[in-house]
Structure 1
């Protein structure tokens, strides 16, 4: 009994040590990623055509010829008169102190703008994951169990069509069918969950196609493992073998893939939120780019990058917990 307890404690300690190592490595990797993204953002804004101060004042004042004195003041305030590296260092110093600046359009802080928009994008991405899992996982399992049958061929064909269809085209189809012809869901605006159905379905199409193929492949490979053959040889029914033995292991690569894609859905929301007029982080970024609202653009891009890095960290920890082979290698 004491040896079993000692082994369990050693296993927990080893697992905890591995998790701490992964967290530390990811946090250290996050630093150069953020620096690189911020530098690229600065370079893109610096090379973009037009004067950001003048464009900002045009949108703010509603005039094509802003006063030169106002342009000069905004130039100084935005740091456009400084060399790009001086401007970058000033901005980085403010970010390290938790100050992302403010919107030149709304006069609200960038953090407030992002905090207002982020829940909408999170809800959209979460619903997209739910729709994808609800359709792709059962279809992938059925396709694997009926390999090379009519359903399998139909699933593979539908996945090819889904991956070949641009998101904006799928969005237009859903708008026409679900919103205009059938009148079931609203096609634009904000409100209850019904406003998220069509954009979430649009965002889930490509994800569902890949998830279904991964689920199918993983289930086929799992059913060919020796422990599955042993379970069948013991006389267990096919349903019990699949539910108790095959499904759990086959789901691991699917869950890991969907976890990594959850972060990238935030990036995909840029187009979808603009088309469906959802006030999320993607639409905020598009509007900020069009009006050259520099502080908000930089804050949105850094937020996207941080979300992706943190979600990948969570996926790594989940994989360590779900996949025994990784834990065994670490030990």
Structure 2
């Protein structure tokens, strides 16, 4: 049995005012995000190859998924996170039984240390850049193909590009080559938008968005390369729009997600041409557990207040 669960794919009545909006509810995974699909697949494969320990770098959710996978498989895990990772995410990792190291001012510095700490009997669990991860994430599209109608467009949040690569792989193996993807980021974490514009991966000087789990300063190479083989469009929304969309999901569907996930939901109100002509829209509700409901509402109040 895989470590992830089969999540609901449902039509949202509150969001389906002008066209059908379908939500793939990855926030319901046991560790709270889609990350468990790819991380679980990667950890199971590395264990079968003889790994005796897992080491991961993470801004939060990938580390939580690695900790969950390690506990389920009986393998010790060490997660390295940057100083920007919330206290809530750190505590969840510790509570799940993993060792935690805090290092660096951003994910890239934590990642470099995690690679250094990986010994000969350890498997390194990358948060977004590994073909096994993408294969694991692709299963969510397999489920969509079985659970509901073929959408006219898939909307998702993008950080390092792991989810995007997985969704593209899933679209291809289901023959949905004509289904475009709208990849959404927040201002200040928009490395993918800048990379698509440049035609190659671009590194941001720093992350300034509150959506820190989108905080890969540079997307993986393959996420940019795959956009040359499939229609991938980019959209950048504000932090305020992402948070407002997350609050609306909480009110409409009683489901709490991070601002990073809210970015994809915010696309529904932006009037993007791709969405304006779509009859059926699929949104990957990727989840995230590092922002509780009280904090989400406080962010919403602060960001929506007149300046």
Under TM normalisation by the shorter chain, which class is it? under 0.3
TM-score by length of 2: 0.23
Q: Which has the higher helix share?
A: 1
Higher normalized contact order (CA 8 Å, seq sep 6+, divided by chain length): 1
The structure having more radius of gyration, on CA atoms, is 1
TM-score by length of 1: 0.22
